[in-house]
Amino acid sequence: MLQWLPGADSTTRDEGDRLVRRALLLFKKHVAMTQRRYVTIAVAEVDGIEFAIVYHVKRSIGERIAGRMRKAGVASSATSGDDHAETLLHERAPAARVIGISNLGGPCPPCKKYFAETPDGFANVYWDSTAWVDT
């Protein structure tokens, strides 16, 4: 079931659904089964160019995943620690209208707080709590 942050613009739901599906596809294709519980992929699009950020608790593993995605033609980078995929993507691509994430639980509490406090009121972050890939 498609989910979104409070305050998300209802006109972005179709795009949110598309970007969540893309994040889940990238997750399924590029993340090893043994790493899936530690990874979130955030995806956005600006001017027809897709961007992805991979979060992994170990940055070196996130970098390897992002590298596999780059080899597949996806503009991607990695993050870890307190810099989560969806917040970093919002900071790096402020023109993005929507962010889709692979995390079935949605943004964590610090990320929800980040988006609740953004000066631009950005809330178009989407995830799917039921259409999950095999773990």
| Residue pLDDT tens, the chain, 135 long | 999 999 999 999 999 999 999 999 999 999 999 999 899 999 999 999 999 999 999 999 999 999 999 999 999 999 999 999 999 999 999 999 999 999 999 999 999 999 999 998 999 999 999 966 554
Q: Which residues contact 121 (CB under 8 A, 6 or more apart)?
A: 7
> How far lies 85's CA from each of 10, 14, 99, in Å?
23, 21, 10
pLDDT the model gives residue 133: 56
pLDDT the model gives residue 135: 45
Parse the chain into domains and list their residue ranges. 11-118
pTM (2 decimals)? 0.95
Closest by Cα among 53, 62, 58 to 125: 53
